[in-house]
Chains A and B, each alone.
Chain A
Amino acid sequence: MAGFDKRVGSYAEAMEGIEDGMTVLAGGFGLCGIPENLIAEIKRRGVKNLTVASNNCGVDGFGLGVLLEDRQISKIFASYVGENALFEQQMLNDEIEVILTPQGTLAEKMRAGGAGIPAFYTATGYGTPIGEGKEVREFNGRHYILEEALVGDFAIVKGWKADRYGNVVYRHTAQNFNPLAATAGKITVVEVEEIVEPGELEPSQIHTPGIYVDRIIQGTFEKRIEKRTLHS
């Protein structure tokens, strides 16, 4: 790595520095746009006691689900965790702390974390169990709860194309939480399908500007489909 060249040569190098007890923000929605190889590298390293923020927690045997097998996650912020038997079991046994977070609030927590905003007010969750114990303020006759931002020791992100400067574009709905996570990692690692020459990506079309990105690696992806639904 030199200057603005963010490329790294291996997945081991991509996740260098991850340690027990760290917080990891992950992009992806369901199995769409998940950093599958970076997750696999975290599994390989065997780091434990991780706090993870991700909309979902993968499925059994794929995505973040693989980190459950060796009990590497001790706490997770997620909006929906339904598709995973091992997860359910660990949740019922209190082996994993689950902070259920409304999807829009989770996205905004990452956005705010990356944008230097420590907390924000939202109407989402007011009057529900999510609002309990949180500061409430009234603006223009409506009630809002205070939600705190999230930052990660690492952010793990799946992009489509990037250049060596770390400018990233996402493909279709594989964008989802990825650009938000990318802004909020102390170390942001992006894996992509293709690394292109600087100048090939149209500057006005960049989703994640390179300033947010620390490491870039090109990988190959299984891209598993969770619910294959065809036109009848």
Chain B
Amino acid sequence: MALTREQMAQRVARELEDGFYVNLGIGIPTLVANYIPEGVDVMLQSENGLLGMGRFPTEEELDADMINAGKQTVTARPGAAIFSSAESFAMIRGGHVDLTVLGAFEVDQEGNIASWMVPGKLIKGMGGAMDLVAGAENIICTMTHASKHGESKLLEKCTLPLTGAGCINRVLTDLAYLEIKDGAFVLKERAPGVSVEEIIEKTAGKLVVPDHVPEMTFAD
């Protein structure tokens, strides 16, 4: 069975380490905040200028001056800091964020990512995504492995305009967890009940399959 969005978030959350500063993109990455492991303290960075993003506000706490990068109302946790957009992107570009999680349309075996523009469709903008992928050492891309029509999104070469070149090293799809290394996807784990054959079939880029590919496990 392919992973649900919640399971994808759960799996990514296992990569969080105590003391990490983390930037979570919009969509599945945002859900990762719901699964931070016990005993692990992370500070969430929101690129509009907040380090230490807290939960959503109660009615009483609601404040128009307190939003996240998705423009949702939020709170700041104790120990948070607030700063300008230039300071925020100095942190991002300067490589100070320990882990970035973001979605993508396509990723290729060279670590290129396309996530912001489909030619012929309305272009809304890249927001902070280009800065995030250019600045982070450690990025996990979350995406479905193939389109609704079964076309692979893990490619030899991205077909869409890039968000960043050679910057992605880990991908979590609904079918598998993979690393990108030396011009190939390396299959590290598969979703429960998903066969290696299915992953091979749905991966258009070069795929390295180790002898043993463990199945992910999830508590009920």
Which residues of A are interface residues toward B (Cβ below 8 A)?
Answer: 29-33, 55, 78-82, 88, 91-92, 100, 102-108, 110-111, 122-130, 160, 171-180, 207, 223-232
Contact call B56/A127, Cβ cutoff below 8 A? no
Contact call B165/A126, Cβ cutoff below 8 A? yes
| Residue of A with least CB distance to B117 | A129
- Counting from the closest, the 3 A-B pairs by CB-CB distance are A104-B89, A127-B165, A104-B131
Which residues on the B side are within 8 Å of A226 (C-beta)? 67, 71
Most buried by B among A88, A223, A231: A231
Contact pattern, B 67-98, Cβ under 8 Å of A = 1, otherwise 0: 11011111010000011111011001100000
Which residues on the A side are within 8 Å of B125 (C-beta)? 78-82, 100
Q: How far is the CB of A119 from chain B (nearest CB, A)?
A: 16
Contact pattern, B 156-182, Cβ under 8 Å of A = 1, otherwise 0: 000001111110000000000000000
What are 28 pairs between A and B in contact, CB < 8 Å?
A82-B124, A92-B122, A100-B123, A100-B125, A100-B126, A102-B129, A103-B89, A103-B126, A123-B134, A124-B134, A124-B135, A128-B161, A128-B164, A129-B162, A130-B130, A171-B65, A173-B66, A173-B67, A177-B84, A207-B84, A225-B62, A225-B67, A226-B67, A227-B71, A229-B73, A230-B56, A230-B57, A231-B57
Which residues on the A side are within 8 Å of B126 (C-beta)? 79-80, 100, 102-103, 130
A29's contact among B48, B63, B122, by CB below 8 Å, is which?
Answer: B48
Interface presence of B49 (CB below 8 A): yes
Apart from A32-B71, A80-B124, A129-B117, list 18 A-B contacts with CB within 8 A: A31-B71, A103-B128, A103-B131, A104-B128, A105-B131, A107-B89, A123-B135, A124-B93, A126-B164, A128-B164, A173-B49, A177-B84, A177-B85, A226-B67, A226-B71, A229-B56, A230-B56, A231-B61
Interface presence of B55 (CB below 8 A): yes
Contact call B56/A103, Cβ cutoff below 8 A? no
B interface residues, how many (CB within 8 angstroms): 53
Interface presence of B59 (CB below 8 A): yes
Interface presence of B39 (CB below 8 A): no
Contact call B165/A128, Cβ cutoff below 8 A? yes
Contact call A173/B48, Cβ cutoff below 8 A? yes
Contact call B131/A124, Cβ cutoff below 8 A? yes
Interface presence of B112 (CB below 8 A): yes
B contact patch SS: loop
| Residue of B with least CB distance to A183 | B86
Q: How far is the CB of A10 from chain B (nearest CB, A)?
A: 25
Contact call A81/B73, Cβ cutoff below 8 A? no
Which residues on the A side are within 8 Å of B64 (C-beta)? 31-32, 174, 223-225
Contact call A175/B84, Cβ cutoff below 8 A? yes
Contact call B165/A172, Cβ cutoff below 8 A? no
With A110-B86, A111-B86, A176-B49 already in contact, the answer to whether A125 and B71 are too (CB < 8 A) is: no
With A29-B48, A32-B67 already in contact, the answer to whether A127 and B162 are too (CB < 8 A) is: yes
Interface presence of B127 (CB below 8 A): yes
Contact call B83/A102, Cβ cutoff below 8 A? no
Which residues on the A side are within 8 Å of B117 (C-beta)? 129
Which residues on the A side are within 8 Å of B130 (C-beta)? 102, 104-105, 124-125, 128, 130
For chain B residues 129-143, which have a beta carbon within 8 Å of chain A?
129-131, 134-135
Contact call A107/B86, Cβ cutoff below 8 A? yes
Contact call B85/A176, Cβ cutoff below 8 A? yes
With A79-B128, A125-B130 already in contact, the answer to whether A103 and B47 are too (CB < 8 A) is: yes
Contact call A55/B85, Cβ cutoff below 8 A? yes
| Residue of B with least CB distance to A111 | B86
Which residues on the A side are within 8 Å of B55 (C-beta)? 231
